[in-house]
A and B are shown apart, each in its own frame.
Chain A
Amino acid sequence: MNGPKHTSASSSSGEKQSWLDDTQNIDKIFWGVIFLSVILMLLEPFYYKKPYFSFEGSFGFYGWFSFLACAGLVLVARSLGRVFERGEEYYDADRNSGEDNR
């Protein structure tokens, strides 16, 4: 079970300082992620990938493909965003911002 953010099990609610607050811990997590990705790339030659397609067999295909995919996705989305962005009241104020709650 991993994900970039790893919450501390014992974080308490309320104003007390949570483990994540100081930047030093966040750096630890960031470098942890990089370390994990490097290990997974190294594991590559030790298992047989049963590729269906030729390009699937290349070295660490899943890794770099998904990295490029996500990065590309976000960057393209950002530029597209600027083109399609409109103010809140574009459809003559018929879309509120989901303020009131149930």
Chain B
Amino acid sequence: MLWGIPPGLLLILGVLLVPLLPGAWRKAYMTILPLAGLWALAGAETGVFYTFTFFTYEIAPVRIDGLSLVFGYIFHIAAILSVVFAWHNNDTVEQMAGLAYAGSGIGAVFAGDLITLFIYWEAMATTSVFLIWARRSDSAFRAGMRYLIIQVGSGVLLLSGAILMAHQTGSVAFDKMTLGNLATWLILIAFGIKCAFPFFHNWLPDAYPEASVTGTVFLSAFTTKCAVYVLARGFPGTELLIYVGAAMAAFPLFYAAIENDLRRVLAYSLNNQLGFMVVGVGVGSALAINGVAAHAFAHILYKSLLFMAMGAVLYRVGTVKASELGGLHKSMPLTTIFCIIGAASISTPLFAGFIAKSLTLSAAAKDGYPVIWLILMFASAGVFLVSGVKIVYFAFFANDGGKRCKEAPLNMQIAMGLTAILCVVIGVYSPWLYSLLPNDVAYEPYTLSHVINQLQTLIFSALAFALLIRFKFYPPAVNSIYLDFDITYRKWLPVLYKWIVSLVSPGWKSMLQDLRNGLHRMVAYMFRHHGPEGILARTWPTGSMALWVALLLGGFLLIYYS
């Protein structure tokens, strides 16, 4: 803890100074802040700090243990890399939103109880939406709005679950939960929304491609991985998650294969990778949880690398539509290399992805889930084809779209370079990452059989891709969108709503009209009696006043004597 400030809050409060600093100072300050956070985190010892009681509930804003430390480190690293990537961009809103978003993500990871978690959860939602709105286009605004509704909706579910749990168990501590009652179901659904479970996943492919160039890099790291962390913390070993994870790993690939907007392809492949982590959480064994942490660590790196590459293309060329790109390797050679490293490190040996994902795969295999393991194999082959090869091929090598542009700006190259180096280093020297993992389980990724199996998988999926391209079976990238589950709430629901309104409104209007008339009549009636000319307000002749006195006296006497 730097000067006693909890890790997440350090960034969030630090953001307040950002607008005050001019140009270069601001960029330096924004980079040093997460660095300081990382350095403070490195020294921190595990335990629960700053606990206080809020009404009768024990609040533990900072809890540091093996699992949260790993996520804490990677979140800080991701924050640093994203800030470096965004050096060229001096839109204050985006800078502040980005850092605050990273801060709230880190805060959520270290939250020890559901209430602190809820606060950071909401903070993440509200700060991240500005990264989408920073694009300042109408569709970005609308996508951001849908994104916000879904994220805040997840926050509300989390809160209601927390309240129910506090009511039932009397404590809001955030630890392993079982799916028995409504409270934990609500909390699971809340985590599921942010972890892009099937049917809740649409905000991911809908909002991420709409965010700004640098915004998506921030977005890709925190929300989803924080959701994975809370799932790993709250629901390890829940059988249901294995099947949900498997589904998540499979279906996005189909969309990614035919999708035109390359950042949307990456978003779908992000969803697919989350599937791996969710399966890991579902299996729940020590090895699996290690796998989840390692995979999250590696995935943040190579996914943000890919998003950076696509961001650079979008920044230079102005579009990431596969149908309009191609042949950029000539004008952006460095970005091409980084993109290839990013694609490779999805699961190629000697890169980060390989050593991380193999943990999950072998955990699944060890615990005897053949079908799940097959789906995961299908998914890992597919994801290499779709987000690895397709992105690189269509963006940089396909038929020349005739677009020429300068190389990505220097800060982008630095950021991508650093991320690439990290991917390679972690891939090559795996014990470093394994030392960071929560449970210490001995696992050797680089066995001969494992390497060859992995190479076979990759080379044959590349073969499939080459044959499909050669014989023109690969669907041409065409400028259209493909319907997803979100058609329900973006098309059918509005139509239904309009239909209901058209039915109800005539009745409603007439009812309102009657009400208004009734009111007017009443006021008019009141006015006739109480208005200036009314009997009650007119200046009475003295005689009638005296009459009233006599009447009242008579009345009282009658009552008293009766």
Residues of A within 8 A of B (CB): 1-5, 7, 11, 13-14, 18, 20, 30, 33-34, 36-37, 40-41, 43, 47-50, 52-53, 55, 60, 62-67, 69-71, 73-78, 80-81, 84-88, 90-91, 94-102
* Chain B residues in 8 Å Cβ range of A73: 253-254, 257, 378, 382, 385-386
Cα(A1)–Cα(B397), bound, Å: 18
Sample (27) of A-B pairs whose CB atoms are under 8 Å apart: A2-B462, A3-B388, A4-B462, A33-B463, A36-B459, A37-B460, A40-B455, A43-B452, A49-B453, A60-B456, A62-B453, A63-B460, A67-B463, A69-B461, A70-B385, A70-B460, A74-B464, A77-B257, A78-B257, A87-B480, A91-B491, A95-B139, A97-B261, A100-B135, A100-B318, A101-B317, A102-B134
A92 to B545, CA, bound (A): 74
Which residues of the other chain, A, contact B481 by a CB distance below 8 angstroms? 85-88, 90-91, 95
Q: How far is the CB of A9 from chain B (nearest CB, A)?
A: 9
Is B480 touching A88 in the complex (CB atoms < 8 A)?
yes
Q: Are A69 and B340 in contact (CB under 8 A)?
A: no
- For B370, the chain A residues whose CB sits under 8 A away are 53, 55
Q: Which residue of B lies closest to A1 (CB)?
A: B344
Q: Check if A76 sits within 8 Å of B461, measured CB to CB.
A: no
Give the size range of B's interface with the partner: 35 or more
Interchain CB contact (< 8 A) of A3 among B319, B365, B462, B475: B462
In the complex, what's the smallest C-beta–C-beta distance from A44 to chain B, in angstroms? Answer: 8
For residue B453, give the distance in angstroms from its CB to the closest CB of chain A. Answer: 4
Contact A65 B448 (CB under 8 A): no
Q: Mark B122-147, 1 if CB is under 8 A from A, else 0.
A: 00000000000011011100110000
Q: Is the CB of B373 within 8 A of A53?
A: yes
**Does the CB pair A91–B336 fall under 8 Å?**
no
Residues of A within 8 A of B479 (CB): 88, 97
By a CB distance below 8 angstroms, the chain B residues around A77 are 253-255, 257-258, 475
A101 near B314 with CB under 8 A, answer yes
The reply to whether A70 and B382 contact each other, CB–CB distance below 8 Å, is yes
Q: How many A-B residue pairs have CB under 8 A?
A: 216
List B residues 342-394 near A (Cβ within 8 Å): 343-344, 348, 350, 362, 365-366, 370, 373, 377-378, 381-382, 385-386, 388-389, 392-393
Contact mask B254-284 → A, CB, 8 Å, 1/0? Answer: 1101100101000000000000000000000
Interface residue stretch chosen among B24-32, B240-248, B327-335, B507-515: B327-335
Secondary structure of the B contact surface, majority rule: helix
Q: Are B333 and A13 in contact (CB under 8 A)?
A: yes
Q: Which residues of B contact A14 (CB under 8 A)?
A: 330-331
Residues of A within 8 A of B365 (CB): 52-53
Chain A CB within 8 A of B449 CB: yes
B333–A70 touching, CB < 8 Å: no
| Given known contacts A3-B389, A30-B470, A70-B381, A48 and B449 CB-to-CB distance under 8 angstroms | yes
With A4-B466, A7-B337, A73-B253 as contacts: A81 and B314 at CB distance below 8 Å: no
Residue pair B139, A67 in contact (C-beta under 8 Å): no
Contact with A along B301-344 (1 / 0, CB 8 A): 00000000000001111111100000001110100110010011
Distance (whole angstroms) from the CB of A73 to the closest CB of chain B: 5
Which A residues touch B474, using CB under 8 A? Answer: 74, 78
**Contact code string B463-506 (vs A, CB < 8 Å = 1, else 0):** 11111101001110011111110000011000000000000000
The CA of A85 and the CA of B483, in the complex, are separated in Å by: 7
Given A64-B460, A84-B484, 7 more pairs with CB closer than 8 A: A3-B340, A74-B464, A94-B142, A98-B320, A100-B318, A101-B213, A101-B317
- In whole angstroms, how far apart are the Cα atoms of A92 and B216 in the complex? 24
Contact in complex: A84, B483 (CB < 8 Å): yes
Interchain CB contact under 8 A, A74 and B457: no
Q: How far is the CA of A76 from the CA of B468 in the complex (A)?
A: 13
A60, B348: Cα distance in complex, Å: 18
Cα–Cα, bound, A100→B315 (Å): 9
Given the known A-B contacts A63-B457, A69-B377, A74-B468, are A47 and B254 also in contact in the complex, defined by CB atoms under 8 Å? no
> Would you give the shortest CB distance from A87 to chain B, in whole angstroms?
6
Q: Evaluate contact between A99 and B457: CB separation under 8 angstroms.
A: no
Q: How far is A56 from B295 in the complex, measured between Cα atoms in Å?
A: 23
Q: Are B456 and A80 within 8 A (Cβ)?
A: no
B382 touches A98 (CB 8 A): no
A24 to B382, CA, bound (A): 29
B216 → chain A closest CB, angstroms: 10
Whether a CB of chain A sits under 8 angstroms from the CB of B209 is: yes
What's the Cα separation between A87 and B333 when bound, in Å? 34
A47 and B463 within 8 A (CB): no
Contacts of A41 in B (CB 8 A): 456
Of all chain A residues, the one with the shortest Cβ separation from B380 is A66
Cβ–Cβ < 8 Å partners of A74 in chain B: 257, 385, 464-465, 468, 473-475
Decide: B254 and A30 in contact? CB cutoff 8 A.
no
- The CA of A69 and the CA of B137, in the complex, are separated in Å by 39
Expressed in whole angstroms, the minimum distance between the Cβ of A91 and any Cβ of chain B is 5
Q: Assess whether B113 is interfacial by the CB under 8 Å rule.
A: no
**A24→B475 CA distance, assembly (Å):** 24
Among B344, B464, B470, chain A packs the most CB atoms within 10 A around the CB of B464
B258 and A78 within 8 A (CB)? yes
